Amino acid sequence: MTRKAIVERELKRMRTVEKYAEKRASLKAILRDVNASYEEKNEARIKLQKLPRNASPSRLRNRCSITGRPKGYYRKFGLGRSKLREEAMKGNIPGLHKASW
Domains in the chain, CATH or no CATH each = 1-61 (1.10.287.1480), 63-101 (4.10.830.10)
Q: How many CB atoms lie within 10 A of CB 69?
A: 18
Tell me which amino acid residue 48 is: L
Q: Tens-digit pLDDT profile for the chain (101 aa)?
A: 778 999 999 999 999 999 999 999 999 999 999 999 999 999 999 999 999 999 999 999 999 999 999 999 999 999 999 999 999 989 899 988 878 76
Sequence letter at residue 60: L
At 55, which amino acid appears? A
- Evaluated on CA atoms 56, 6, 19, 66, the torsion sign reads positive
